[in-house]
Amino acid sequence: MKESGLSNKVFNATKWSTITEVAAKLILPFTNMVLARIIAPEAFGVVATITMIVSFVDMFTDAGFQKYIVQYNFRNKLEKHEYANVAFVTNFIMSIFLWGIIALFSDQIALLVGNPGLGNVVAIACVQLPFTAFSSIQIALYRRNFDFKTLFWVRIFSLCIPIFVTIPLALLGLSYWSLIIGTIFMQISNAVILTIKSEWKPSRFYDFSILKKMLSFSIWSLVEAISIWLTTWVDTFIIGNMLSEHFLGIYKTSTTMVNAIMSLVTASIVPVLFSTLSRLQDDNEEFKNFYFKMQRIVSILIFPLGIGVYLYSDLATKILLGDQWMEASKVVGVWALTSAIMIVFGHFCSEVYRAKGKPKLSFIAQLLHLVVLIPVTIISCKHGFWLLVYARSWIRMEFILVHFIIMRVVIKISFLKTIKNVIPTALSAIGMGLIGYFLGRANEGVLWDIISIIMCVVSYFVFLYLFPRIRKEVYSLGARFISR
């Protein structure tokens, strides 16, 4: 693949991926703002545990095949479609089997996750599993081909479903059922639209030798996915069992809201990053250059976003969730600040490992983090909800340290160069943060908050202007987007 051709594909893919996330962040806040004012935090706590179960089972139905389809260099289109078909059939059979297991032991599973008596809810919510199996391989093929334009339209259609399904059901008083039914409809629409538009269609073809070959890579990808799931959901499991549904709803809704804000940047970059690095896996110099470039671009947006949400967490919580959720403001602030650091220095490392065909490195990193995360979460939870919030947020710095060591020893990417790469944006964001802090102490009120936010944004870009390399990169990206 020629460099110019790859560059154009990367830019177009990033453009459509970014447009998708921007559109999502225009639609999702609206639905969340409405739902947060209709449904109590306890209902969101129930849905959090349901989501935890579904996401866990989804890992086994996918078995890491999606990443294999994106990462592997196929000889031709026929071979690619054969591998896709084997992956799809395996995913679909596994999803039906696991759904049956969940339905059979639904009461015991509900009790395990801290929701006794909601076994039927668990069983019905997992009806979405076969549909996610349908869409998983299709999404992988679109990403491999850098066809993020099609994924944009599919995502937009599914994002409109809560407006016409979830919100009306919530207004009828269906509480957590409205969220569950809306999610099921979203998965159905994804599966149907992706399959209709896809060049590849499921067939009867199956080859166990292909399955064996894929499993040699995917088994580590699956193990890695399990470790990531544990890192993501272990706090939810512990809170659900040691504290109340109210605190679980406050915690999970707050962190989910922050993750949604941050994903405005990361969700548009990560799929393109993995697809591109996979194509560059044999060219170490270009591989590293592209990684550093994407890290630098992400830091331009993520650092000020994290600091800004931390400084104005009360305003963000009031706008997005409403007055009944003001208790969540502290969670929103500290999670946003630590998320910004985690995203820039650690979030993309797993994509590097996978693109190099070494998902076991990501598993090792997750494991080294879990041995610290689990005891810290349990001990802090015993001493109260707020200690848990701060301990869980800042313990992620240990995860960054683990990634730094693995990247230096195995991938040969220096952590000093990684830090130096984003010093201009970090200093600019810190300068902006100091100005925001003093402006916040100067006056109060929503109007003043809005004015001071505008002043912070202006000051941030003034600081960035002082660094010629960053200034040139911002100009270049802006000019290219405008020209397109």
CB contact set of 184 (below 8 Å; sequence gap of 6+): 125, 127, 128, 131
Q: Which residues 6+ apart lie within 8 Å of 90 measured at CB?
A: 63, 65, 211
Rounded (5°) CA angle 170-172-173? 65
Burial of 158 (0-12, 13-18, 19+ CB in 10 A): buried
Would you say residue 175 lies in a domain?
A: yes
279 domain residue, yes or no:
yes
CB 266 within 8 A of CB 348: no
Extract the residue ranges of the chain whose pLDDT is less than 50.
1-3
The predicted pLDDT at position 424 comes to 92
How many structural domains comprise the chain?
Answer: 1
The one-letter code for the residue type at 275 is S
Q: Are 413 and 433 in contact (CB under 8 A)?
A: no
Sign of CA dihedral 392, 59, 404, 259: negative
pLDDT at 321: 76
> What are the phi and psi torsion angles at 172 (to 5°)?
-80, 0
Encoded tokens for 388: 């848990």
257 domain-assigned: yes
Does this model's pTM top 0.75?
no
Within-domain flag for 457: no
In a domain, 107, yes or no: yes
Which H or E element spans position 421? Answer: helix 415-421
Give the rounded distance of the alpha carbon of 20 from its chain centre.
14
Q: What is the pLDDT of residue 15?
A: 65
pLDDT value, residue 399: 93
Q: What is the pLDDT of residue 304?
A: 95
Containing structural domain, residue 176 = 3-421
* pLDDT of amino acid 1: 42
Instruction: Write the DSSP string, 28-47.
Output: HHHHHHHHHHHS-HHHHHHH
**What DSSP assignment string belongs to 139-198?**
HHHHHHTT-HHHHHHHHHHHHTHHHHTHHHHHHTT-THHHHHHHHHHHHHHHHHHHHHH-
DSSP string of 64-133?
Answer: THHHHHHHS--SSHHHHHHHHHHHHHHHHHHHHHHHHHHHHTHHHHHHHTT-TT-HHHHHHHGGGHHHHH
- Residue 327 belongs to some domain of the structure: yes
What are the pLDDT digits (tens) for 406-457?
999 998 898 899 999 999 999 999 999 999 999 988 888 888 989 999 999 9
For residues 128 and 184, the answer to whether their CB atoms sit within 8 Å is: yes
Q: Is residue 129 part of a domain?
A: yes
Phi, psi dihedrals of residue 2, rounded to the nearest 5°? -70, 150
Could you tell me if residue 401 is inside a domain? Answer: yes
Name the maximum alpha-carbon separation found in the chain: 69
